[in-house]
Amino acid sequence: MSKRDFYDVLGVARGAAESDLKAAYRKLALKYHPDRNPGDKDAEEKFKEAAEAYAVLADADKRARYDRFGHAGVGGAAGGPGGVDPTIFADFQDIFGGLGDIFGFGDALGGGRRRSGPQRGSDLRYDMEIDFLQSARGADIAIQIPRQETCDPCMGSGAAPGTTATTCPQCRGAGQLRYQQGFFTMARTCGQCRGAGKVIQKPCKACAGQGTVTQQRKLTVKVPAGIATGQRMRLTGEGEAGSQGGPSGDLYVVIHVREHEFLRRNGNDLICEIPVAMTTLALGGELDVAGIDAGELLRIPEGTQPGSTLKIKGKGMPDIGGNRVRGDLLVTVRGTVPKKLSKEQRALLEQLAATLAPENHSPVRTSDESESESIFSKLFR
């Protein structure tokens, strides 16, 4: 019987990309795999046919010859038992990904990592809330986290002290059981040792044979000055303990900064608002502003208008990367007007209002004492 066109076998166009070929083959291989169709000769033949087609079309040189000369151009190129190139199965792990274990061939055909070797521990995440000034100045903060650590009595082996794990009698230490399926060799994870290659006859009582135990780990985290919400720090080796002598995972500390009642952050600049007496705005002066550092001196020029923003250079947030100087402290001034005036104060202010240029004052009203507030609120806003 003549062979079907390889493109028709995979159900793709002749100009299909490599990713399309792989996706098509994966779909067919999963559908017709012998483990899913035990005893079905038709499914087995279709599985072989798909493997042969992919073996040719996935190879650039073979595909070029096939496109030019058809099956004659690759005669013998896809040889091997049943006419299938055995090297095609070296690609199973790439094609099937994490689905290899569905059929038990993930380790055998894909060259996957065996479970018997050292395994790295899992990474951990810790969400840390700090106050605004801690983020600005930096801080050393003590935390406590539960994590899996190596069991001390058995030193992580899982076997009771004084005993050792023995070679699995079923797989003889391989961690896998191999068998012949048609034209290729399959393998399954050993059910007795679960792929470890060894069995523990007498488990450690402290860890129940797991090799790790849950412990409360106390750490001091050095929070750098200038850190912001959402940024994270990596503490290498402070995650879960590894197994079989593998390295520990890492701990990621994610920062959440509480808002400040007075200061707001914009990049590395700090922003705030302060009330300033109308006389200080008019005459000028100096005020202490509570920034990151206590008592930042703000110089207010004469005639400063309410709503103006003044800058104290270099008194903002530190740069966490250390690449430049600190940001600035930006202060917006809000004019304040006294709600009540004595007779003497009112008289003095009315004299002042009378001497100001027309654009700087409004008509003076004396019929109601509360009107004096509106006069000066107009003057100094």
CATH for 217 = 2.60.260.20
The verdict on 61 and 43 lying in the same domain is yes
The verdict on 137 and 42 lying in the same domain is no
The verdict on 128 and 31 lying in the same domain is no
The verdict on 248 and 130 lying in the same domain is yes
142 occurs within a structural domain: yes
268 occurs within a structural domain: yes
Mean pLDDT of 145-162: 87
Compute how many other C-beta atoms are within 10 angstroms of the C-beta atom of residue 142.
Answer: 8
Q: What is the pLDDT of residue 183?
A: 54
Distances (CA, A) of 345 to 28, 352, 363, 376: 94, 11, 18, 12
* Gap between the Cα atoms of 93 and 100, Å rounded: 7
pLDDT at 112 over 60: no
pLDDT at 378 over 50: no
Per-residue exposure over 205-218, b if at least 16 CB sit within 10 Å of its own CB, e if not: eebebbbbbeeebe
Q: What is the pLDDT of residue 149?
A: 87
pLDDT at 109 over 50: no
Beta partners for residue 312, in sequence order? 329
pLDDT at 307 over 50: yes
The verdict on 52 and 72 lying in the same domain is yes
The verdict on 306 and 231 lying in the same domain is no
Provide the residue range defining the domain that includes 363: 343-380
Cβ neighbours for 133, distance < 8 A, ≥ 6 positions apart:
260, 292
Cβ neighbours for 225, distance < 8 A, ≥ 6 positions apart:
135, 136, 137, 138, 318, 320
Beta partners for residue 288, in sequence order? 297
Mean pLDDT of 319-329: 81
The verdict on 318 and 350 lying in the same domain is no
Q: What is the pLDDT of residue 83?
A: 43
Polymer length in residues for the chain: 381
Tokens standing for 5?
């066109």
Q: What is the pLDDT of residue 111?
A: 40
199 occurs within a structural domain: no
Per-residue exposure over 256-267, b if at least 16 CB sit within 10 Å of its own CB, e if not: ebeebeebebee
Pairing mode of beta strands 329-336, 269-277: parallel
Q: What is the pLDDT of residue 364?
A: 43
Cβ neighbours for 155, distance < 8 A, ≥ 6 positions apart:
none
pLDDT at 190 over 90: no
Burial of 87 (C-beta count, 10 Å sphere; 0-12/13-18/19+): exposed
What is the CATH number for 50? 1.10.287.110
- Give the model confidence (pLDDT) of 346-356 as tens digits: 898 888 888 87
The verdict on 348 and 327 lying in the same domain is no
Q: What is the pLDDT of residue 323?
A: 67
67 or 365, which is more confident: 67
DSSP one-letter string for 89-147: GGGHHHHHGGGHHHHT-HHHHH-PPPTTS-BPPPPEEEEEEE-HHHHHH-EEEEEEEEE
Q: Domain end: 217, 243, 259, which one?
A: 259
Q: Domain end: 75, 110, 145, which one?
A: 110
- Give the model confidence (pLDDT) of 167-176 as tens digits: 888 888 888 8
CB 281 within 8 A of CB 308: no
Q: What is the pLDDT of residue 243?
A: 77
164 occurs within a structural domain: no
- Give the model confidence (pLDDT) of 228-274 as tens digits: 999 999 999 999 888 777 888 999 999 999 999 999 999 999 999 99
**Of 177-191, 283-297, 305-319, which has the strongest mean pLDDT?**
305-319
Mean pLDDT of 192-217: 86
pLDDT at 366 over 90: no
Beta partners for residue 70, in sequence order? none
* Gap between the Cα atoms of 180 and 349, Å rounded: 105
Pairing mode of beta strands 309-312, 264-266: unpaired
Q: What is the pLDDT of residue 40?
A: 85
How far the first Cα of the chain sits from its last, in Å, is 97
Picking from 90, 168, 84, 198, the residue whose alpha carbon sits closest to that of residue 100 is 90
- Give the model confidence (pLDDT) of 37-86 as tens digits: 877 889 888 888 988 899 899 888 888 888 888 888 786 544 443 444 44
Mean pLDDT of 205-234: 91
Q: Domain end: 302, 319, 336, which one?
A: 336
Total domain count for the chain?
4
DSSP one-letter string for 151-204: -TTTTTS-BPTT---EE-TTTTTSSEEEEEETTEEEEEE-TTTTTSSEE-SSB-
171 occurs within a structural domain: no
Residue showing tokens 């490599």: 18
The verdict on 291 and 354 lying in the same domain is no
pLDDT at 380 over 70: no
191 or 25, which is more confident: 25
For the CA atoms of 351, 352, 355, 358, the dihedral, rounded to the nearest 10 degrees, stands at: -120
The verdict on 291 and 356 lying in the same domain is no
Whether the model pTM is above 0.85? no
Distances (CA, A) of 63 to 220, 221, 324: 60, 58, 57
- Give the model confidence (pLDDT) of 4-22 as tens digits: 899 999 999 988 888 889 8
Indicate the range of 146-150, 180-184, 287-291, 358-362 predicted with least confidence.
358-362
* Gap between the Cα atoms of 295 and 289, Å rounded: 6
pLDDT over 90, % of the chain: 31
113 or 187, which is more confident: 187
The verdict on 136 and 254 lying in the same domain is yes
Cβ neighbours for 74, distance < 8 A, ≥ 6 positions apart:
56, 62, 65, 66
195 occurs within a structural domain: no
Indicate the range of 26-35, 182-191, 237-246 predicted with least confidence.
182-191
172 occurs within a structural domain: no
The verdict on 133 and 255 lying in the same domain is yes
Tokens standing for 97?
């990904």
Q: Taking all residues of the chain, what is their mean pLDDT, rounded to a whole number? A: 80
269 occurs within a structural domain: yes
